[in-house]
Amino acid sequence: MKSLTVETSPSLALIKYWGKSDTIRNLPATSSLAVSLDSLRTRTTVSIAKEDQVYINEELAPAERFQTFFDNLRKVTGSTARFSAHSTANFPVAAGLASSSSGFAALALAGARLIDPDISQETVSALARFGSASAARSLFGGFTVLKRHHESSQPLSIEWPELRVIIGIVTAQSKPVSSRLAMERARETSPFYSCWLEEAESVFSRSLQAVQNHDLSTLGPLMRKSYLSMFSTMLTSTPPTFYWMPESTGLIRSCEELRNSGIEVWETMDAGPQVKMICMDKDLETTLKYLKSAHPRIEFLVSRVGGAPKV
């Protein structure tokens, strides 16, 4: 085979990983629970080349961001090959929409399968983790977990087809600070980081139960706790990291208003200003109507639970 094309979806953490327990191996310090976003796609073609290079939306990406990943790809597959990758996404990249999760998952799957067509998903998930820990989860569709200190992610045998994710794109601009830097800052300087670690595992296991029970009323407050505790470590870092924009707070308020009127919509955020809102299919139309009239300048995307990567 000369080249291989893979399509993946980003992995949206309902319960966050934030911080590393091993920075060299890029192991997560907290367990995360995520869902794959069907309508967002990254498409990556990898071929053997003279030197390692990655083009994202036709632009050459900085080589150092990919060096460790490519070195590990060679180590895992026992190959000495160099790789060229061309990647496109149907959504803004590096803007807090988990593009690194689908991006590194696609790169890992295409590169590894190019060398070894029989390589296991577990091995590829661990390889993707070297690029971005959340990418370990994007190797699988549906609901996934990446447990703390673990090398690879596991798919969950949970079907919840009524679940919808509304993504409020507050800005398509790239985020000012990478999640990698922000979480290291938090680990090294935030006095709240140890509280975050202390609480995270109990929030994770209660959420897992809630997802298994299709219980949004229990999951929602736990999702909130997870992202707000994560942000508390950013605000108390030195220097602090700010990702939110006024529109982010506006969307959070709108979710609260909807809940007060009896519609269950629960939001979450990642390392960026975008707000992702979870609701059930039956409430989607009313929720979207409300959000669009309250925030006419914000673009909204709707996603279902995504499937496995396509090779």
Backbone angles phi, psi at 94, to 5 degrees: 55, 30
Cβ proximity to ligand PMV, 133 vs 298, nearer residue? 133
Query: Which residues, other chains included, contact 142 with Cβ-Cβ below 8 Å and sequence gap of 6+?
Result: 35, 36, 155, 156, 158, 159, 305, 306, 307, 308
Return d(Cα 16, Cα 53) in angstroms, integer.
Answer: 30
Residue 152 within binding range of ligand PMV, rule CB under 6 A: no
Rounded Cα distance between 284 and 290, Å, is 10
By the rule CB under 6 A, 310 interacts with ligand PMV: no
Q: Which of 14, 16, 125, 276 binds ligand PMV (CB under 6 A)?
A: 16
Stretch that binds ligand PMV, among 14-22, 59-67, 118-126, 249-257 (CB under 6 A): 14-22
Of the candidates 17, 128, 201, the residue with the CA atom closest to the CA atom of residue 120: 128
Tokens of 192: 């709240």
166 to 185: interface string for ligand PMV, x by CB under 6 A: -------------xx-----
* Terminal alpha carbon distance of the chain: 13
In the range 109-148, which residues lie near ligand PMV by CB under 6 A?
132-134
Chain residues 53-72 in contact with ligand PMV, contact rule CB under 6 A: none
Nearer CB in complex with ligand PMV: 17/66: 17
Give me the least distance between CB of 261 and ligand PMV, in Å please. Answer: 29
Interface with ligand PMV (CB under 6 A), residue from 4, 8, 17, 168: 17
Dist. CA 91–CA 95, nearest whole Å = 9
**Contact footprint for ligand PMV (CB under 6 A):** 13, 16-18, 32, 98, 100, 132-134, 179-180, 270-271
